Amino acid sequence: MESFLTFVHEWGYIAVFLGAIVEGETVILTASALAALGYLDLYKIMAITFCTTVVVDQGLFLIGRRYGPGFFERFPKLRPRADRAFRLLHRFDKWFILSFRFIYGIRIISPIVIGAANIEHKRFATLNILSALIWTTVSCYSGYMMGDVLEKLLKNLEIVKHYVMIGLGVAALAAAVFWIWKKYKKGI
């Protein structure tokens, strides 16, 4: 545990930065939970997450803007996800831009699609900042609340261990009864 805490103190904010570059909800949630336990600062996590996701998505938007739909012809494996993102963009427009961060599987490809669809840069930038603010707030506070629950769970670890042992005992008993029943049924 001591080495893990040393790692968190030395590399925690760098991990947040790297997690925010890609689909790093797990990293953001974990870091925020650690903030609830006092190992990291929630506001630093939020600042890093917000700034990184805005800059990365603006960069991906510019890639889509520069290379257009031809980008997806060059990388055909991205085509199915890009097609899904294009459909959602054409159907929901600004609501898609505000919510793409929350849609599993197309989070990274979406800014490229939005750029390739020739959405105005100012419009995307405005919606991107608003979306990043919402995503950062929801992700970080969700993780923080999970940390609060984790802290209470750790305080009651003896009770939890007791219930886990009872659960394992019941599961083992049920498996044994099922195995005996199956053997008995074969004998009939």
Q: Is residue 175 pLDDT above 80, yes or no?
A: yes
pLDDT in tens, 82-124: 999 999 999 999 999 999 999 988 999 999 999 999 999 999 9
- The mean of the pLDDT values for the chain is 89
d(CA 112, CA 117): 9
pLDDT in tens, 132-141: 999 999 999 9
d(CA 125, CA 109): 16
Q: Within a 13 Å sphere around the CA of 44, how many CA atoms are in the beta-carbon half?
A: 15
Supply the pTM of this predicted model. Answer: 0.77
> Where is pLDDT greater, at 148 or 36?
36
pLDDT, residue 137, reads 96
pLDDT in tens, 38-88: 999 999 999 999 999 999 999 999 999 999 889 999 999 999 999 999 999
DSSP secondary structure code for residue 78 in this structure:
G
For the record, the structure tokens of 52 come out as 């990184």
